[in-house]
Amino acid sequence: MHPIVNKAPWSAFLSKYSSEDTINSYASDLGLFEAHLAGKNPMEASKADLEGFITQMQTKGLSDRTARRRMATLKKFYRRLVSLELITKDPTTIFDEIKTRVPVRNPKALTKEQRKHLVSSLKWDTDHHWHVGMSVLLGYYCGLRLNEVRLLKWADIDFEKKRLRTIGKGDKEAYLPIEKKLCEILETFKEKKPDTTFVFEGKKGKPLSRGWIGAFSKEVKKWCGWTSDFKFSSHVNRHSGITQFYEKTRDIMLTSKFARHSGIAVTQGYTRLVDGEMEAAARKVF
C-alpha cells in the first residue's frame, strides 16, 4: 500500500474506493503531485502548480496515456474538494487547455486475421495453459481489463444466465455476457478446481499477481509465432475485442456500454480504427 493513503487530505478521497489497485493507482499519482508541491498544502494549489506538474512529467518523456490518467486523478480529487466546499475554485480547469497539447491516440488492436489466429492458437493441455487461454478469452470476449481478470471469482459467474459480474475502474459494477463456448470452458475448469475462490488462484487462496498474468502475453506470442517485439498485451487483447464488437454491431452506444467507457468520446477511437478499413476500400473502388 502506498504511504500517502494515510495522509491528510488525500486519505478522505482515497477512502471512497474499495479496490486496492484503484487506491494504489490514485495514491501513486497524488504522491507524485505532493512531491511536486514540495510542502505546499494541496488545497492551496494553483493552476500554475497543476500545469507545471503535467508539463514537468511530459518533459521527462511521460506518455500521453499516463498524462491523461494523472489529469483524471487530480480532477477527481479537486472536484471532490469543491463539492465539499473545502475550496471555492477548481484549479484543474487548466487541464482543458493542456489537453490540446496531449493528443488522444487511437487504441491498438489486432487485425481480423490476427484475432482469428490468436484464438485458434490457444492451448488447453495443462492447468497453466487453461489459465493463459482463459485470460485471453475473458479479455477478448468480455472486454475485461487485466486486473478484472485477475480478481474474477467463481461466485461472480452466473453459468445459467451466461454472464459475469465485475468491478471496474472507479469501483463501478457491471454485468457482462459470456460467449457460450467460453462459458463451457469455464465450467469444465471449475469442475477441476472445486475448492478455489478465484478463477486465477495462486498460493494460499490468493489471486495470481498482476505481473504473473501480464507475463501470459509472452507465452501467447510464442504460441502464435509472433516475435518478441510484436505489440500484444492485455490492453491490445481487450481493444481487439471491443473493435470486433463495433465491427459487427456498428452501434457506438452499445460498444461504449460493452467496453464500460467513461464517455462516448473514448469509444470513438474504435470507430476510427474501423473507418480506416473503409478508407482503404474507398481507395480501391475509386
Residue 107 lies in a domain: no
Question: How many domains does the chain fold into?
Answer: 2
Cα 112 to Cα 4, 117, 118, 225, 245, distances in angstroms: 44, 9, 10, 16, 12
Residues, the chain: 286
pLDDT in the model for residue 117: 96
Residue bearing the bigger pLDDT, 26 or 279: 26
**C-alpha distances in angstroms, 271 versus 18, 120, 140, 161?**
33, 26, 17, 30
- Residue where a domain stops, chosen among 101, 134, 151: 101
Average pLDDT, the chain: 86
Rounded mean pLDDT, 143-172: 90
Q: Is the pLDDT of residue 1 over 60?
A: no
Q: Are 233 and 214 in contact (CB under 8 A)?
A: yes
Q: What is the pLDDT of residue 57?
A: 81
Q: Which domain holds residue 183?
A: 112-285
One domain, residues 22 and 161: no
Predicted pLDDT at 230: 92
Same domain for 234 and 132: yes
Predicted confidence (pLDDT) at residue 37 exceeds the cutoff of 60: yes
Residues 279 and 158 in one domain: yes
The pLDDT assigned to 232 comes to 92
pLDDT of residue 101: 62
Residues 124, 250, single domain; the answer is yes
Question: Would you state the cell numbers that stand for residue 7, as one nine-digit string?
Answer: 495522509
Last residue of a domain, one of 60, 75, 101: 101
Question: Which residue among 66, 101, 136 closes a domain?
Answer: 101
By mean pLDDT, which of 21-25, 189-193, 238-242 is the weakest?
A: 21-25
CATH number at residue 118: 1.10.443.10
